[in-house]
Amino acid sequence: MVIISGYPSALYDEQLEGWNREEFDVQTRVGKAREVLWFNFKRPSELHDYRYLGTDFHDRLRIQRKIARLKSKLAALPVLERAAVIEGISLPGGIATNGDGGR
């Protein structure tokens, strides 16, 4: 598995054709710049550290606050109900999105 970080480059795009490519804005000493990651492996479906989930500081703060609210609501539930809710959202198909109970 290889990952290459740099600035937008037609040469890299040509030589690394077929590789995954991700672009994002970064802050440098001289101002904002566009950075590119080229990588030859599948995009991850999980993060190794969810503290970095989000597009920027405000998005990460929003997610942290949401987590704190959900933890507080879970902590307020009776123990068995809390366990049932945690198990229900942890199992495959456990999160219902269309009113069918997750089936």
Is pLDDT at 95 greater than 70 in this prediction? no
100 within some domain? no
SS3 (DSSP) at 87: helix
26 within some domain? yes
Task: State the total domains in the chain.
Answer: 2
Strands 20-28 and 31-39: antiparallel
| Same domain for 88 and 61 | yes
Per-residue model confidence (pLDDT) at position 100: 52
pTM: 0.51
Q: Among all chains, which residue has been given the structure tokens 């109970």?
A: 101
16 within some domain? yes
With contact defined as beta carbons under 8 Å apart, do 38 and 19 qualify?
yes
98 within some domain? no
- Reported as a single tens digit per residue, the pLDDT across 42-89 is 987 777 788 888 888 899 999 999 999 999 999 999 999 999 999 998
Is pLDDT at 20 greater than 90 in this prediction? yes
58 within some domain? yes
Parent domain of 8: 1-41
SS3 (DSSP) at 8: coil
% of the chain with per-residue pLDDT over 70? 90
